[in-house]
Amino acid sequence: MRSIYFLPVLLLVMLFSACKKMDSTYKQYIVVGGIPYTGKAKSPKAYAGHNRVKITWLRGSDPNVVKARIFWDNYTDSVEVNIKDDADTISVIIDNLPEKDYSFEIKTYDKNGVPSIPVELLSGAYGDRYQSQLLTRPVNSVLLDKNDKLTIKWGNADISNGATFTELAYTDLTGMARTIRFPVTESSSVLTDAKPGTSLQYRTVFEPDSLSIDEFYTASSELGEISLDKKDWSIIDYSTQHSAGDNAVTNFIDGTDATRWHTCAGCSSYPHFATIDMGVKRTITKFGVWRTTFENGGDDRGPDQIQFLTSTDNVTWADQGIYSFNRMLNGEQTYMMTSQPQARYFKFVGVSGPQSYMVIGEISAYGF
């Protein structure tokens, strides 16, 4: 019975002895009252920039903090920051950083040089390598309607690389230079106060990450030729059409070369014409004409020679010249109007071709 009580007592003695040995092992490393660290940087953040990084943090509650030092590149480089008594937020910009990723460590100090526990931050600096990868957002089309509303239809922006805005520089109706930004999430944008005939320059704005303090830009590009919006157009006169529907003259301005205007087969001959009212007077810089792809991917029964005439009143007409048209070729064939005539009306004429009738796809006009 006594042996039963003896075993627990023996175990307690052995445990006490072991604890005394452990205390003696670590006693030499213990500082009475603990290690007096200075209060560390609170809620630190790092903001990437163009060959620079901005670092911020809150001062914290330790009134003894008088300065800080930020280290990077494995402590081979650093910057010292004096901290004023009334400072709530500390902000430091580190300039002239090569383009790469960085690990920063912040240590604060009291007046006796006692440091805080280091606080690590990860960030990066961006430069020429990043800049060289940036792509300008493409423009699919620019349409001008009869009310002077300019609609820009954009292609896809390089969002994965940080594209945020498309920036457009233009001259407004009063002659003032203006700059406006459109989010890259917009597939189309509208401008209502651009002065006709003036330059429109655009570029794409990039931010490398959500905390970037700097923006990057692609080179500025001309917005391109402005297409006069065909939704405002009407055909007010024409020579013939084979029938309505698939062959109607209205297919000539419906916005696609997949339809056709087919003049009367067996009851018409060259020249064939269509007169278009654009609804408002414009300066015309260029015409575009397509053969039709309505059947068999392309129809060669178009004209060989075409002509354009323009008018402001549908009475007096100015001849803008006769041009060759390749009826064997798909796609838009363009014709510059070097005189840039002002017109509300224009007349397309098929002058000659291999058949007596004519089959054609689409026409467009460009200008301001």
Local mean pLDDT, 10-residue blocks, the chain (368 residues): 38 42 38 69 96 95 94 97 92 97 97 95 96 97 96 96 97 97 97 94 96 96 95 97 95 98 96 98 98 94 98 98 98 97 98 98 98
CATH 2.60.40.10-classified regions of the chain: 42-127, 133-224
What confidence score (pLDDT) does residue 35 get? 62
Structure pTM? 0.79
**Contact in structure between 157 and 240 (CB atoms under 8 Å):** no
Burial class, 201, CB count within 10 angstroms (exposed 0-12 / middle 13-18 / buried 19+): middle
Q: Which CATH superfamily is domain 133-224 in?
A: Immunoglobulins (2.60.40.10)
Burial class, 24, CB count within 10 angstroms (exposed 0-12 / middle 13-18 / buried 19+): exposed
CATH 2.60.120.260-classified regions of the chain: 230-367
What confidence score (pLDDT) does residue 87 get? 87
Amino acid identity, residue 206? F
What confidence score (pLDDT) does residue 130 get? 97
For the domain covering 42-127, report its CATH number. 2.60.40.10
What confidence score (pLDDT) does residue 15 get? 39
What confidence score (pLDDT) does residue 333 get? 98
**Contact in structure between 164 and 184 (CB atoms under 8 Å):** yes
How big is the chain by its Cα radius of gyration, in Å? 38
First CA to last CA distance, the chain: 113
Enumerate residues 6+ apart whose C-beta is below 8 A from 1: none
What confidence score (pLDDT) does residue 322 get? 98
CATH for 230-367 (3.40.50.720, 1.10.1370.30, 2.60.120.260, 3.60.15.10): 2.60.120.260
Would you state the structure tokens that stand for residue 68, as one six-digit string? 């800080």
Burial class, 274, CB count within 10 angstroms (exposed 0-12 / middle 13-18 / buried 19+): buried
- Residue carrying structure tokens 């048209």: 325
What confidence score (pLDDT) does residue 59 get? 87
Would you call the peptide bond into 271 cis, given omega within 30 degrees of 0 as the criterion?
A: yes
Enumerate residues 6+ apart whose C-beta is below 8 A from 172: 178, 193, 194, 195
What confidence score (pLDDT) does residue 86 get? 87
What confidence score (pLDDT) does residue 259 get? 98
